[in-house]
Amino acid sequence: MSQHSQIVSFDMVRLLQPLQDELHAALQRCLSHGTFVLGPEVLAFEAQLAHWLDVPHVIGVSSGTDALLATFLALQQGNGDLARLKPGDEVLTTPFSFISSATSILRAGLRPVFVDLQPGCFYPGVDEFAQAWTPKTRAVLAVHLFGEPLDLIQINKLCVSRRAVLVEDCAQAIGATHSNDRPVGTTGVAGCFSFFPAKNLGALGDGGAVITTDETLAARVREKRQHGQALRYQFDHLGGNFRLDALQAAFLSALLPHLDTWIAERRSNAAYYTEHLQQLARLRPDLLKLPARTPGHAWNQYVVRSSERNKLRAALQAAGIQTQIYYPTALHQQGAVASASPPASLPLAEKACREVLALPIAPGMTQADRERVVAAVKTAF
């Protein structure tokens, strides 16, 4: 074991230490007005985030998972152009993501259908989605995994041409932008964000948001987060308790102004890794494959691939460096969603699950930290 202090994947205590005064002020505001669910803090944060993302509608909710669930429930409500989904409709999505991408579809009464990855990528492309399309396909859930923005232009065209809905799972991707410099979440009918503490913008607990340019959908999601309540004690449609706590909204309002700086640090760390590991990756692509340098990447995670992942992880652990595996099992192999889709082999997703390893990349890393990570990776091979 290295005599150096451990380099952890994410140290929120260190990140928040310089912001104690701002966070205490946020807490004091809530204690002063006594509104702890929704209320002025949530309204203020929604407006602040809407300005930062340059979108007309932001709806704060209780988690990124509930952002997805509320959106899929809202897309089944009412009349008009948005009422495109009905129970049992199929939603194409990736098998390589966190479980909530699939279970939110299933809990909304829809059926997730898993589409294998595009070769060399962490996500399906438009060709993979098109090949998986059936007469029951009514939506696509695209996941901006690890902070990498997908180029959704062709996928959106596919959805439009087939009168399907495109929803974006942006849980790991706040701060990421598309090739046209637009924030993720603005191509589809809705973008769903998570403020789990380890995200680029993390609350001091759970939180999430739905963003949309559609006023009708925004109103429906606002109803869904209040048990489907349109007017006080009037419940015409099912919803849930998806409300964002005022205290978390107040904390997020204090943290949002620092997000650009934190993402810049993540991008700097990613660039350093790529610069100093690319020679090894070129010489031994079987042992080390680096993530794509996608423009607009927000780098929630820096995930490499290796056919000898266990050896690499052990070497990093011996050097006092924490790593994470996102994800060891593909969604189509998870029992929680087994009833939604028949068993299938999705070899590229399964191969990714065997090879991926996330290196520390969060803000607060020092130059010495980065050098230690690079040296440990090189030593492993």
State residue 353's pLDDT score. Answer: 97
The topology (CATH level 3) of 14-257 is Aspartate Aminotransferase; domain 2 (3.40.640)
Whole-number Cα distances in Å, 309 to 122, 158, 339: 17, 36, 31
State residue 300's pLDDT score. Answer: 98
State residue 367's pLDDT score. Answer: 96
What pairs with residue 231 in β-bridges? 234
State residue 277's pLDDT score. Answer: 97
The topology (CATH level 3) of 259-380 is Aspartate Aminotransferase, domain 1 (3.90.1150)
| Nearby residues of 128 by Cβ (< 8 Å), 6 or more positions away | 115, 116, 117, 118
Query: How many angstroms separate the CA atoms of 20 and 142, rounded?
Result: 36
Query: How many angstroms separate the CA atoms of 177 and 149, rounded?
Result: 6
What pairs with residue 169 in β-bridges? 143, 192
State residue 79's pLDDT score. Answer: 58
Query: How many angstroms separate the CA atoms of 319 and 10, rounded?
Result: 17
State residue 128's pLDDT score. Answer: 96
3 state DSSP class of 283: helix
Whole-number Cα distances in Å, 241 to 20, 73, 223, 334: 30, 13, 10, 26
DSSP state of 83: -
The neighbour count for residue 119, using CB atoms within 10 Å, is: 8
Pairing of strands 137-143, 111-114: unpaired
Query: How many angstroms separate the CA atoms of 277 and 302, rounded?
Result: 12
Give the burial class of 215: count Cβ atoms within 10 A of its Cβ; 0-12 exposed, 13-18 middle, 19 or more buried.
Answer: exposed
Domain boundaries defined on the chain = 14-257, 259-380
- Per residue of the chain (381 residues), give pLDDT as tens: 445 689 999 888 999 999 999 999 999 999 999 888 888 999 999 999 999 999 999 999 999 999 999 999 999 986 555 557 999 999 999 999 999 999 999 999 999 999 999 999 999 999 999 999 999 999 999 999 999 999 899 999 999 999 999 999 999 999 999 877 899 999 999 999 999 999 999 999 999 999 999 999 999 999 999 998 888 888 888 899 999 999 999 999 999 999 999 999 999 999 999 999 999 999 999 899 999 999 999 999 999 999 999 999 999 999 999 999 999 999 999 998 887 766 678 999 999 999 999 999 999 999 999 999 999 999 998
